[in-house]
Amino acid sequence: MAMVWAYSVGENVGPVDVAIIGTFANYAKAFSPEVIKVMWDSIWLSLLTTLICLVLGFPVALAMTFADQKQKTWLLLLIMLPFWTNLLIRTYALIAVMRTSGVINTCLAGVHTLLVHTGLPLAPFEPLPLLYNKFAVVVGLVYVHLPFMVLPLYAALDRLDKSLIEASLDLGASHIETIRRIIAPLAAPGIAAGLVITFIPALGAYLTPDLLGGPDDLMIASLIERQFKRANDWPFGAALSFILMYITLLFFAIRAFMGRTGGKVGVH
Structure confidence at residue 267 (pLDDT): 45
Domains of the chain: 2-86+128-261 (1.10.3720.10)
What residue type is 51 in one-letter code? L
Dump pLDDT digits (tens) for 132-173: 999 999 999 999 999 999 999 998 888 887 788 778 877 888
Phi, psi of 231 (to 5 degrees): -80, -15
Distances 180 to 56, 90, 165, 227 between C-alpha atoms, Å? 16, 35, 11, 46
Residue 12 bridge partners (DSSP): 18
Structure confidence at residue 261 (pLDDT): 58
Distances 210 to 128, 132, 252 between C-alpha atoms, Å? 20, 9, 26
* Mean of all residue pLDDT scores within the chain: 87
CB 138 within 8 A of CB 41: no
Residue 69, pLDDT > 80, answer: yes
CB 159 within 8 A of CB 168: no
- 216 vs 230: CA distance, rounded Å: 18
Structure confidence at residue 258 (pLDDT): 65
CA 15 to chain centre: 36
Dump pLDDT digits (tens) for 1-53: 899 999 999 888 876 688 888 889 999 988 899 999 999 999 999 999 999 99
What residue type is 227 in one-letter code? Q
Residue 55 bridge partners (DSSP): none
